[in-house]
Amino acid sequence: MDDAFRGPRGRAGGRAKHGRMSDLLNQTESGGVMRLAFDRPEKLNAFNDEMTQALLAALEAAATSQARVIVLTGNGRGFSAGQDLAEFAAARAPGGGTRSVAARLRAGYNRIVLRIRELDRPVIAQMNGVAAGVGLALALACDFRIAADDATLTLGFSKIGLIPDGGASLFLPLLAGFGRGLELAMTSERISAAEAYRLGLVNRVVAAADLGRETDAFAARLVAMPRSALALTKRAFNAAIVPQLAAWLDAEADLQELASHSEEHRDGVRAFLEKRAG
């Protein structure tokens, strides 16, 4: 068994705590539940480097915190629209000084996905709005997904000449099945929360107005369960279903590197930024 799947044991926290590790990630904790809220609402919580590193740091800190359940959500009308394409394009422009796409993935999203799976406590994606690109990938890597009835989901990668990354090429077919997963990956169709539920991509759909309450109630049920049983159950599911996750994320990053060299990719990003995307 991978050592990374063995985490420290803690007790549920009682008093509410609030923190801002970054202006782009709000952290609160109460009743044994840590809530991490992406906070770039004007960009639908697209991930720039600061938000990516803030999330990684928060998840790393969560491993030794008293929180027994972690909730990821977004402020505003988006869960997350994935990689910030403006920052991405700027970093890769001549003089932008960026590393390769594969190196970026290994330093950021892949570590986040591994951290979500390695945490010895449940991680819930509270999907308050649109989830796209790696924003959706991170939700799929969580243990549970609870979606507002007005949330929508789209892979989006194929529109900009990329492949699903952040583990989506693994978790998408795992949850939705090979055929439907591949269809969503290739077409980038934007689906409703109800359709996502039908496909098994989300655990439950609730009225948007009740999303926070419903997530809190579900999280409280988990907090009340024996901690070690949940930790070992998660470890068992990881070992049974995604035992080669780290190796697969690495391979996925190499495929994304290949995709990122195409003219179609450059055109796709340009079209989005110039608001010509369909």
Q: Which residues contact ligand T3D by CB under 6 A?
A: 43-44, 46, 81-86, 88, 101, 104-105, 130, 132-134, 154, 156-157, 160, 162, 165, 272
Q: Which is nearer to ligand T3D, 33 or 81 (CB)?
A: 81
Q: Which is nearer to ligand T3D, 138 or 230 (CB)?
A: 138
Closest separation in Å from C-beta 138 to ligand T3D: 9
Q: Which is nearer to ligand T3D, 34 or 259 (CB)?
A: 259
Residues listed for the chain:
278
Closest separation in Å from C-beta 134 to ligand T3D: 3
Q: Which is nearer to ligand T3D, 154 or 215 (CB)?
A: 154
| 80 vs 62: CA distance, rounded Å | 21
Closest separation in Å from C-beta 54 to ligand T3D: 15
Q: Which is nearer to ligand T3D, 90 or 225 (CB)?
A: 90
Taking the CB of residue 259, how many other CB atoms lie within 10 A of it? 18
HEC per residue, the chain: CCHHHCCCCCCCCCCCEEEEEECCEEEEEECCEEEEEECCHHHCCCECHHHHHHHHHHHHHHCCCCCCEEEEEECCCEEECCECHHHHHHHHCCCCCCCCHHHHHHHCHHHHHHHHHHCCCCEEEEECCEEEHHHHHHHHHCCEEEEECCCEEECCHHHHCCCCCCCHHHHHHHHHCHHHHHHHHHHCCCEEHHHHHHHCCCCEEECHHHHHHHHHHHHHHHHCCCHHHHHHHHHHHHHHHCCCHHHHHHHHHHHHHHHCCCHHHHHHHHHHHCCCCC
Closest separation in Å from C-beta 132 to ligand T3D: 4
Q: Which two tokens stand for residue 42?
A: 């004007």
Residue 24 · residue 7 · CB < 8 Å = no
CA angle 262, 263, 267 (to 5 degrees): 125
Q: Which is nearer to ligand T3D, 6 or 267 (CB)?
A: 267
Closest separation in Å from C-beta 36 to ligand T3D: 18
Closest separation in Å from C-beta 177 to ligand T3D: 22
Q: Which is nearer to ligand T3D, 37 or 101 (CB)?
A: 101
Closest separation in Å from C-beta 172 to ligand T3D: 13
Q: Which is nearer to ligand T3D, 70 or 160 (CB)?
A: 160
30 - beta bridge partners?
33
